[in-house]
Amino acid sequence: MWSNIFSRLNLIRFGIAIISVIAIVITLPRTDHQSFSYELNQPWKYPLLTADFDIPILRDSVSARAMRDSIDKVFIPFVKRNDDIKKENIDKFTQLLSHNANPQQTQSLLKLMNKVYDNGLLDSRVYAGLEARNDKRLRLVVNENDKKTVVSIDASDMLSPAKAYAMIDSIYHSHSNAEGHLNSDIQKAINLCLNANIVIDSLTDYKYRSQEYLNVTGAMGIIKKGQRIVDRGEIINRQIFTNLNTYQEMMVSRQSETNHTYFIIGQAMYIILIISILYIFLSLYRSRFFGNIRKMSFLMSFTTLFILFAILMCEYFTNGIYLIPFAAVPVIILVFFDSRTAIFSLLTTVLISALVATYQFQFIFMEFVVGLAATFSLRQLSRRSQLLRTAVLSFISYVATYFTICLITEGNLSQFSLKMIGTFAINSVILSFAYILILVIEKLFGFTSTVTLVELSDINNKLLQRLATEAPGTFQHSIQVSTLASEAARAIGANSTMVRTGALYHDIGKMTSPIFFTENQHGVTPHAGLDPETSAHKIISHVTEGVNLASKAKLPEVIKEFIREHHGRGLAKYFYTTAVNENPDKVIDKSKFQYPGPNPQSKETAILMMADAVEAASRSLKDYTPASIDNLVDRIIDSQIQDGLLKEAPISMRDIETVKRTFKTRLSTIYHSRVAYPEMKKNTATAEELKKNSTLASPLADKQIEENSDSSDSSENNN
């Protein structure tokens, strides 16, 4: 028991499920509250929102910026004075002048430099701010008796380095009778030695300015718990927009203060429960899918990627989750699986995606209705044009469910939005391109869609044309088998398109040696000169030859399954019986007369096996009465059951009985009794002779001629 539970197959299956759960949980947003999408100056599209806790009412960004600007205009900056700058620059200036100026120039320039530094040489940015304000004061923090005191200083006489240079140049020349202009070396020396000794005190300035800003950033009031934040349809002005942002930020902040472990565990358990339901359904009712790792890998990876895409679209786009064509999930899965699996997959995808939907009930209702409508409109995809019809029906379903939701939530159509209708239209257009995704999946996972099967069933296909030319009898046999098998498949709910296509190709291996098969012979049989074992080998080899031809023609794997399984592990009974009869004292090795198999593994290949044997045997009947046809069908199929050829196929005895009835009805129609035409007892030449020899015919003679002529025409028509 335990070895079965922990078998490699189960480990792979559950490994796929665990990977899906982890990927979804990681992608889900870390929030345990509703997330909203809203825009400034747009109406609030959700119902009444009330506060879950007390929320401070902060100023909106525009008002806050205006208040900060007004504070900056009147705020007196804090600066600090560095007297060491003066000493360093005066000493440097004196040294430079000793080489470039005479004593008189040096004395005059040093006097001006000392005056500039004594008044205060401001940083350029501080000076520009001072010029922009009417108040020419600055503040300075000084130490008095080991205590810091803020003092205000007059900065009206303070200059920036550029202004100080211009002033020195102007004053020097207005009082100088010398050269008229300072030479370039002295100019460079002045520029080099004019460095600000009063600069902004960044820390102190930021501290006091932030205190002033508290009047801006502080709360103007409080929205109490339970009070309204915004109601549906209300235009989101700047203040409401700020309140909503505050609410969202505080919600995130409150969550960051708590432990998210339980919330994440809850999300994981929710996802695990839903995926478990899907797994239980597949294991109980779709074991052929559940046991196929390739199909399980596709099913889980497809639904998981779809969910991840929905989560990301919801996070980054307004109403982005409604741009996702969830109806594509059942449509695509229906193509490769069946309707019930498609519906369960839709349910799984929608329920998990609802974790990020703003209003889960409306989302689930809408997407499930639309998905079911798409599924019901597309019982079997055989033409690309069918997807257009499905897209139109999906759009109609979206509009109808949206209309219904508006009436339920509002009692009117005040919130009916044409923008949402446009979103649904885009969704439906994307759905109509699902055909491209189907082709990609076929290539990636090696699946075969119904569309591909329909294309392969065209008798103008190159391989079928070759079969018709090289083995015409086998071609006709294949067509008859495809008709029988597809009708039986419809009767028991199997894939009739797959059966029909598989039946057309099941005997292509006979093309290599068509003359060895009865339907292609014309009175002469090559088996006459061969021993039973060699003849059996020639007959049996058409299976392996057929698989080789299918591989060269790149036919899908599902078609190869029909070729391999249409005889199963059965015997070439005619030649085996002949060998036994010819060698009564010898033990005949059955394996040399046995087809390679395997036995049919699906309903469809089982139907083909029955149809193939019945159609071939029906050609040997001498009398096509209902009783003889019934006996033939029962004998052939019962023999296959007794030989154990159908025991591995998921087909019930009830289905087999239905298949039998279908075969009997169809064969009776094909080989119906024909009406026996009566023999002509009267000489038809009489009328012609009478007409030729009579020149003057009486009215009675004319009537006789007409009756004979009518009788002759009637006989010819009947023949």
- DSSP code per residue over 243-294: HHHHHHHHHHHHHHTS--HHHHHHHHHHHHHHHHHHHHHHHHH-HHHHT-HH
Burial of 221 (0-12, 13-18, 19+ CB in 10 A): exposed
Query: Is the pLDDT reported for residue 492 higher than 80?
Result: yes
Compute φ and ψ for 55, nearest 5 degrees: -125, 125
pLDDT of residue 429: 93
Q: What is the pLDDT of residues 383-435, one digit of tens each?
A: 777 888 999 999 999 999 999 988 887 677 777 788 889 999 999 999 988 88
How far is CA 263 from its chain centroid?
A: 27
pLDDT digits (tens, 9 = 90+) for 137-157: 888 888 777 788 888 888 888
178 vs 21, more confident: 21
Query: Which residue type sits at 521?
Result: Q
Rounded Cα distance between 261 and 559, Å, is: 51
pLDDT at 705: 31
Q: Name, in order, each residue with C-beta under 8 angstroms of 540's C-beta and a sequence gap of 6 or more.
A: 567, 572, 593, 594, 595, 596
Which of 34, 9, 18, 8 has its CA nearest to residue 360? Answer: 34
- b/e per residue 511-540 (b: at least 16 CB within 10 A): bbbbebbebbeeeeeebeeeebbebbebbb
Compute the distance between CA of residue 84 and CA of residue 492 in angstroms, rounded to an integer.
Answer: 103
pTM score, two decimals?
0.60
Report the alpha-carbon distance of residue 33 to residue 55 in Å, rounded.
16
* In the predicted structure, residue 684 carries a pLDDT above the cut 70: no
Total count of residues recorded for the chain: 719
CA dihedral 383, 388, 390, 394 (to 10 degrees): 170
CB of 687 within 8 A of CB of 708? yes
Residue 345 and residue 329 in contact, taking contact as beta carbons nearer than 8 Å: yes
Query: Per-residue confidence at 8, pLDDT binned at 50, 70, 90?
Result: confident
Please say if the pLDDT value at position 718 is more than 50.
Answer: no
* Residue-wise pLDDT tens digits, 41-76: 888 877 788 888 888 877 777 777 777 888 788 888
Beta bridge partners of 80: 199
With a CB cutoff of 8 Å and minimum separation 6, the contacts of 211 are none
Encode burial over 303-333: b for 16+ CB neighbours within 10 A, e otherwise: bbebbbebbebbeeebebbbbbbbbbbbbbb
Angle between helices 496-505 and 472-492 (to 10 degrees): 160
Enumerate residues 6+ apart whose C-beta is below 8 A from 545. 509, 510, 511, 512
Q: What is the pLDDT of residue 699?
A: 44
Which residues are CB-neighbours of 80 under 8 A, at least 6 positions away? 140, 141, 198, 199, 200, 201, 204
Q: What is the DSSP string of 71-98?
A: HHHHPPPEEEE-HHHHHHHHHHHHHHHH
Residue 219 clears pLDDT 80, i.e. is over it: no
pLDDT at position 352? 95
Q: Tell me the per-residue pLDDT of 85-114, one tens digit each, with 9 for 90 and over.
A: 888 888 888 888 777 777 777 888 888 888
Q: Which two tokens stand for residue 219?
A: 């709360």
Measured CA to CA, the distance from residue 193 to residue 261 in angstroms comes to 64
pLDDT (average), residues 203-224: 79
The answer to whether 81 and 140 have CB atoms below 8 angstroms apart is: yes
Separation between Cα atoms, residue 425 and residue 398, nearest integer Å: 9
The answer to whether 397 touches 368, Cβ cutoff 8 Å, is no
In the sheet that holds 78-81, the strands lie side by side as 147-154, 137-144, 78-81, 198-200
Torsion of CA 624, 627, 632, 635, to 10 degrees: -170
CA angle 46, 52, 57 (to 5 degrees): 85
Q: Does residue 568 contact residue 598 with C-beta atoms inside 8 Å?
A: yes
Q: Over the chain, what is the mean pLDDT? A: 83
Between 217 and 66, whose confidence is greater? 66
Q: Residue 572's closest CA among 550, 548, 588, 549?
A: 588
